Structure 1
Amino acid sequence: MTVKELKTELLKHCTDVVEKRFSKIKQTIADIEESLTEESKSTAGDKHETGRAMLQIDRENAGKQLQEVEKLQQLIRKIDINSKADYARLGSLVYTNQATYFISISIGAVTVGKSTYLCVAFNSPIGQLLSGKKKGDTFTFNNKPFTIKSVS
């Protein structure tokens, strides 16, 4: 598998995870809206008002989650897997003596073929340490020494 094919597969996996989150949150919001409509038909007094207030809070929380997912969607669209650089940046595959990282969004370990890649956000602690590093550079994370083997 070429580097471009590998990056394409990893990016697709990241996109799929974000799209599933997006769909789930949209469904949650739709369910809350439906529940609010049903609550409006009820005239149970204080119990009715408490139920509506809790649904409103749930809707606000779901709205915040939706905003976060939309930010991730925008970030994914910015990832350019075709440009080449000899330093780690958004969209880079960074091979170290400890693990291989795909700088994208934080979704954790993804297995492609027989290899495992860690998808990490650029602004995560490990993403910040990897940022700008080149082949041969070293750094320490969680008291472990890392050496960059290559950047693609």
Structure 2
Amino acid sequence: MSVKKQLFEECKLYVEKREQTIREIMSSHKKALFSETKSSAGDKHETGRAMLQLEMEKASQQITVVQQMKEVLHRINIEDSSEVVRLGSLVYTNKAVYYLAISMGAVSVENTNYFVISSSSPIGKLLLGKKINDAIYFNGQEIKITQIF
């Protein structure tokens, strides 16, 4: 299996796990919300409900982010190769190797570290549209593109 395919599969797995975790949290909060009964400590009860509502809203926002990640992954064709850096590109530089997909961070495949980044991240924006031998400047360092897959 190609490195690009393995990285893409890691991205899909990451998004699935994240979605599952968020849905479990939402389910847990729903149960807690419905099981809370009014007590003589009314203010305490209302505060507890309000906190659960805030947590539910936060989880809902996280689900939206996960849906956006799924859409980004859906737009990637791992079979495509280009001479120009774009979404789905595997970019080798003199500093590190980047896979433009979703914001996921460092991933190790076959004992090599790859940085899975979003094309809207600061370094992702700089890499987009570049070609082999082009250089970008990030955090005061020159990063030269050596290969694109």
Same fold per TM (> 0.5)?
yes
Is 1:59 matched with 2:56? Answer: yes
Query: Moved runs in structure 1, 4+ residues, more than 6 A?
Result: none
Task: Give 1:46 shift.
Answer: 2.1
Aligned amino acid, residue 78 of structure 1 = R
SS of the residue aligned with 2:28?
helix
Q: How does 1:28-39 map to 2 (within 5 A)?
A: 28-39=25-36
TM-score, scaled relative to structure 2: 0.94
- Is 1:125–2:122 an aligned residue pair? yes
Equivalent AA in structure 1 for residue 38 of structure 2? S
- Alignment RMSD (CA, Å): 1.1
CA distance in structure 2 between the aligned counterparts of 1:115 and 1:57, rounded to whole angstroms: 40
Distance, in Å, in 2 between the alignment partners of 1:11 and 1:128 is 20
Instruction: Give the match's secondary structure for 1:80.
Output: coil
Q: What code does the residue aligned with 1:84 have?
A: S
Given the alignment, which residue of 90, 95, 100 partners 2:97?
100
String of CA shifts for 1:73-119, please: whole Å, max 9, x gaps.
Answer: 11111111111210000000111111111001111111111211111
SS at match of 2:23: helix
Aligned-residue identity in percent: 41
Structure 2 letter corresponding to 1:28: I
1:1-152 equivalences under 5 Å are 5-39=2-36, 41-44=37-40, 45-152=42-149
Comparing 48-57 with 129-138, which one deviates more in the overlay? 48-57
TM-score (norm 1): 0.93
Q: 2:13, 2:117 → 1: CA distance?
A: 15
How far apart are the structure 1 equivalents of 2:85 and 2:112?
20
Say which SS state the counterpart of residue 133 (structure 1) adopts: coil
Aligned mates of 1:47, 1:144 — CA distance in 2: 53
Alignment-mate amino acid for residue 8 of structure 2: L
Unaligned stretches of 5+ in structure 1? none
Q: Structure 2: state its 5+ residue gaps.
A: none
